[in-house]
Structure 1
Amino acid sequence: MTRTTKPPGDIALPLIGFGTWQLRRETAYDSVRAALEVGYRHVDTATLYQNESEVGRAVRDSGVGREQVYITTKLRPQDARHARRALESSLRLLDTDYVDLWLIHWPTGRDELVSTWQELLSAKDAGLARTVGVSNYSPALIDLLTEATGQQPAVNQIPWSPGQHDPALLDEHRRRGVVVEGYSGLKNTDLRHPVLTEIAERHAVTPAQVVLRWHLEHDIVILPRSSRRERIAANFDLEHFSLTTEDVTAIDALARTS
């Protein structure tokens, strides 16, 4: 059973998601199919990635029921003035009536911040997106949206890795009840670092698995991406070991030394 987290008032969000950035055409299709076969039930895409049709086809062909797969897509800021039309295009490409999570990919221009967020809330009210949130937003921008509309983003998808670990920023999100999704956790990490290799050796796992498990210990959603089936499987296989408190503390400290 995939572990989940739950934004206040929203649906359960699987902590392990499959990222699809830079996966295109048949590679995207094959990789998502492999991820679903391995057991992933959360797939992250975006209009910008230009692979929504392949993601949707992979979900459809997988034999896994649509209601069992948590699908995220994202709105490009340049599409803010016709956000609903952009979402409807994403839904056609994904071949689904709704997405489970729709995010604003990164902040729009100042004048469009609130109006774009209102478009996402409207899409949620219409049943086109079950949950709505943002990506690459600061706590201050999240507060601006919340104060203007009375409804805060459920999720903020931001870069996160041991070297970028920021307990204060994590706490800012926790106090607001905003779920943190971390991206590029492996890409932005030196997997040969002695701290990670020592922990990996002790647990008989890979350094990448250590980093991904570390995210889960902090209840941060992970979105590992790969086109290699064995790596897709390894990135999902995180429940057969756990990190000690000392392990987590040692990895946290990499932010101060990197």
Structure 2
Amino acid sequence: MPASKSVKLNTGAEMPTVGLGTWKSKPGEVEHAVEYALKNGYIHVDTAAAYQNEKEVGEGIAASGVARGSIFLTTKLDNPDHKEPEAALESSLSNLGTDYLDLWLMHWPAPMTKDTPALADKTHDWLDTWKSMEKLYKAHPEKLRAIGVSNFSVEFLERLLAVAEVIPAVNQVEIHPSCPQEDVVELCAKHGIVVTAYSPLGSDNSPLLTHEIVKKLAAKYNVEPANILVSLQANKPNVTVLPKSVTNSRILTNKVIVDLTEEEMAELHTIDRTLHFRACHPEWTGWGSLGFPDCK
């Protein structure tokens, strides 16, 4: 289907389909990337407390001169902050230099200890974290326009949906032809939850960029392979996508979306049969038995 410019959240707000991702964007680079992206047509920026770049993202937004009200801004609650979400929210707002977030996500359903951030805190249930996020969302609509989750598999989503008073607006997960997570996308669509695809290129130096199917379609449409991979997600209903770059030329080209046919999208999805991988592999002490599933 033709790519859309935005997707409507269950709050009624419009979320731009293509945003600038900032995971792994290094200090000294991300401020410029955000400024350049906003000056050149992006209106959606995604960051996280765990990326340790919120302050520079905020500086990039300020330097762009683009009005805050024109920007859709997302950040995330870090794993060691599950017991203190309100303090974490205030810290993110301060770092970003903004009075409100368009979207605040639980980064992982994985509380960690403060003293050892990679060590599971099994004294705390992430469902209690969500309940605290719900309370903050209801009490402070001037600070939070929407709340959601990230890295939630079907198992975790079902557990959340069984008790949630506020249905997540978004579930941000890794999605690309070698990690389609179709079961997650299907469940989210059923419950009106928008899916945001991170690492749509398969992360740095991805083999997807040189895959024959991707290269063939890029040649057909006279675009870069990255455009085909981003367009695959942008052509799906109920999905937004976060290409990441700190290079001016790539920031510009990544936002070029082509309308793929259903047959072309199906062909891209055949890649997973022979090339299957996941770019994000957290290694946390104590979570080995929790069962974060590999991409499906």
Give the structure-1-normalised TM-score.
Answer: 0.94
Q: Distance in 2 between matches of 1:5 and 1:60?
A: 25
SS in 1 for 2:38: helix
Q: Distance in 1 between matches of 2:130 and 2:156?
A: 11
Preserved CA contact (<8 Å) 1:18 1:40: yes
Structure 2 equivalent of residue 160 of structure 1: 175
* One-letter amino acid matched to 2:152: Y
Alignment of 1:91-240 (within 5 A): 91-109=93-111, 111-125=124-138, 126-127=140-141, 128-186=143-201, 187=203, 189-219=207-237, 220-238=239-257
Q: Distance in 2 between matches of 1:232 and 1:59?
A: 15
Q: RCO higher in 1 or 2 (8 Å CA, sep ≥ 6)?
A: 2
Identity, in percent, stands at 34
Preserved CA contact (<8 Å) 1:145 1:151: no
Q: Decide which structure has greater helix share.
A: 1
Quote the RMSD (CA, aligned, Å). 1.6
Structure 1 equivalent of residue 118 of structure 2: none
Question: Per-residue deviation at 1:164?
Answer: 1.3
Structure 2 equivalent of residue 242 of structure 1: 259
Question: Per-residue deviation at 1:189?
Answer: 4.8
Q: Distance in 2 between matches of 1:176 and 1:245?
A: 24
**What 5-or-longer segments of structure 1 have no aligned partner?**
none
C-alpha distance 67-156 of structure 1, shift in aligned 2 (>3 A): same
Preserved CA contact (<8 Å) 1:101 1:129: yes
* One-letter amino acid matched to 1:116: T
Alignment of 1:36-55 (within 5 A): 36-55=38-57
Q: Distance in 2 between matches of 1:29 and 1:145?
A: 35
Preserved CA contact (<8 Å) 2:154 2:183: no
Deviations 1:202-233 (A, max 9, x none): 11111110111011111321111111100000
C-alpha distance 202-55 of structure 1, shift in aligned 2 (>3 A): same
Preserved CA contact (<8 Å) 2:11 2:146: no
Q: Distance in 2 between matches of 1:132 and 1:223?
A: 18
Question: Per-residue deviation at 1:171?
Answer: 1.2
Q: Distance in 1 between matches of 2:96 and 2:262?
A: 41
Provide runs of 4+ in structure 1 moved above 4 Å: none
Structure 2 equivalent of residue 34 of structure 1: 36
SS in 2 for 1:242: coil
Question: Per-residue deviation at 1:250?
Answer: 0.5
